[in-house]
Structure 1
Amino acid sequence: MNIQSLISFRETVRQNSISKASNKLHLTQSALSQQLQNLEKNIGCSLLIRSNKGVELTKEGEILLEYAESIISLYENMLSDINESLHNKISEIKILSCNIVGEYLLPCSVYIYKTKHSNIKFDIKIENTKKVIEGIQNKIADIGFIDKPFVSDEIESKKICANDLVFVYNPKKYKIPDNKINLSRLSEIPLVLLSKDNGIRYIIDTSIKEENIKIEMELNTIESIKASIVAGMGSSILPYTSVKSEVHAGILSAIPIEGMSCLCDIYLIYSKDILNKSYVKEFIEFILKHGKETFC
């Protein structure tokens, strides 16, 4: 098994077609098919089910795809670091971030930092909290931002700031008396929440576990939740930072929840040995010192 066979396998799954994947990879269909057959032979099982509708992963194929993503990322990071060492011009900081930080807080900090560090470029990918932690543990990225506490002997975790969690609703669909809501009233309204792999969901579940709360739907991103609320599919509990633009525009309303712990802490995490990269260490020091004030 080689890295190219994993790349070919991943591309075939992404394209849902051997012919489309072969074009993307600049291979003949027969050469790609041979790569996939050799991969299945090396693994010892069938990975793809081929049909007129495309390709479908077997259970073993799903397992391989998950590991292949990490292996390919490590391979690409290795090539990037080697290239950087050869040219020594632009240094890249790879960041994995949970939704709330990556989309709503971090962009301003990166912009401010780059105004004085033109030799630094950033590769920012947004994942759920669980995958951010796994990515830092597996050294796929240099630093990560998560929205729940994390303790590890190998990983440093530094609290940056806290975000208020608020009840978010469509004022055209729901009328909330006195702009107040408690957990009892919350149980009467269908909620659209982030999936359980997100730190914000962990905080919510911890706070409402004794209540009979109706969860209408689970989604992976805050943006998709906001779109659902606007469409009248329910309400949610989200960090105020992520909805303040819509609140100011009158599209959504946001109010505190009485009787609920309503703080979402933001943490910076990184492997201790990453401090050997001086440019990463410098950015970490900037975030620790100025992160709260430079977040959007």
Structure 2
Amino acid sequence: MINFELYKVFYLTAKSGSLSKAAKELFITQPSVSHSIKLLEDNLGLQLFARTSKGVELTKEGAVLYSYIEQAYNFISLAEVKLSELRNFSSGEIKIGGSDSLCKHYLLPFLESFHEQFPHVQINLVNGTTPEIVKQLKEGKIDMGIVRTPILDDQLQVREGITIQDCFVTGPKYRELSKHRVSLSKLLSYPIILFSRNSSSRKFITRLFQEHGLILEPEIELGSVDLLIEFAKIGFGVSFVTKEFVAKELEEGTLFEVKLDVVIPSTKIGIITLKNMPLSNSAAAFVAKLEKPAD
């Protein structure tokens, strides 16, 4: 039988880095905390903590154990929140992971209408790349993630959202590129501006060039879509962006689309959640809003 109380003592001690702080939070004595940790170490046959001048710190083995116990505590806390929301739909919290660009250009209208419908539901946004969002979802730190597809993971349920189309854009300095179709090889003779290496859009366009025997090496790498847009506008080069996210700039003529002689495949935005993990009422309502076709 697993003694969950021992793991609770271990978790709070590791989190605080102090036997006395853990004892205070558990409403027990410090010797009781030490005894519980010793008992857990004896059961596992490993040393979990090392004493320091400031308290205690995890050993290598203790750090491995903590990574699992932390996830368990996240899921327990999440379960309590979801049960509370089952009793009262007028309140609650939704934690959503996504990139800055998807939050701003895709999620914002949905968030606005959802907030009008459920003003007492708190919405927390967590920014990150797709791998970071998947990690946080599996650790129970967020309810759902908004990412670009395809994404293949047996632990995840992927619901498809809208279709998006990527393209290259430039400002007035390289406007001549928009007047005729451009080959991939010719495009490489211009300064290319791309999102960071870990982004799904960066991997997507890199694969397209590789399929045509070309290596795509950007002159500038940036961490946000807004910067990609602004750098293209002021003449730093040609940026790779989602066309739907620069519709206003293209219409106003502050950006110009560079049309290629090859087709850039369209992609979809996906709503990812953990399989076999029920959503709270508020989270389920938000997912339903994302899945609902636009009027």
Give the TM-score normalised by structure 2.
0.70
3-state SS, counterpart of residue 253 of structure 2 = coil
Residue 162 of structure 1: CA displacement?
A: 1.6
CA contact (8 A) 1:207 1:260 kept: no
- Is the alpha carbon distance of 1:183 and 1:37 closer, same or farther for their aligned partners in structure 2, counting shifts above 3 Å? farther
- Counterpart of 1:100 in structure 2 is 101
- Counterpart of 2:26 in structure 1 is none
Query: What residue identity is the alignment partner of 2:274?
Result: S
Residue 94 of structure 1: CA displacement?
A: 0.6
Query: What residue identity is the alignment partner of 1:85?
Result: S
What is the CA deviation profile of residues 146-179 of structure 1, one whole-angstrom value per residue up to 9, with x for unaligned ones?
1131222221012212211111111234422624
Residue 83 of structure 1: CA displacement?
A: 11
Superposed, 1:1-296 pairs within 5 Å as 1-5=13-17, 38=54, 41-43=56-58, 78=77, 85=84, 88=88, 89-176=90-177, 178-209=179-210, 210-290=213-293, 293=294
CA contact (8 A) 2:167 2:264 kept: no
CA contact (8 A) 1:77 1:140 kept: no
CA contact (8 A) 1:167 1:237 kept: yes
Residue 276 of structure 1: CA displacement?
A: 4.5
Residue 208 of structure 1: CA displacement?
A: 0.6
- Is the alpha carbon distance of 1:142 and 1:82 closer, same or farther for their aligned partners in structure 2, counting shifts above 3 Å? closer
3-state SS, counterpart of residue 282 of structure 1 = helix
Residue 280 of structure 1: CA displacement?
A: 1.6
Give the whole-Å Cα distance in 2 for the aligned partners of 1:175 and 1:37.
Answer: 66
3-state SS, counterpart of residue 264 of structure 2 = coil
Residue 82 of structure 1: CA displacement?
A: 5.2
- Counterpart of 2:37 in structure 1 is none
CA contact (8 A) 1:95 1:144 kept: yes
- Is the alpha carbon distance of 1:172 and 1:113 closer, same or farther for their aligned partners in structure 2, counting shifts above 3 Å? same
Give the whole-Å Cα distance in 2 for the aligned partners of 1:256 and 1:274.
Answer: 43
Residue 193 of structure 1: CA displacement?
A: 0.6
How many residues of Structure 1 are paired with residues of Structure 2 in the alignment?
241
Q: Which runs of 5 or more structure 1 residues have no equivalent in the other structure?
A: 7-34, 46-63
CA contact (8 A) 2:175 2:256 kept: no
CA contact (8 A) 1:192 1:218 kept: yes
- Counterpart of 1:19 in structure 2 is none
The structure that has the greater radius of gyration is 2
The answer to which of 222-231 and 261-270 deviates more is 222-231
Residue 131 of structure 1: CA displacement?
A: 0.7
Over aligned residue pairs, what C-alpha RMSD do you find? Answer: 3.4
Give the whole-Å Cα distance in 1 for the aligned partners of 2:246 and 2:52.
Answer: 45
Residue 228 of structure 1: CA displacement?
A: 2.1
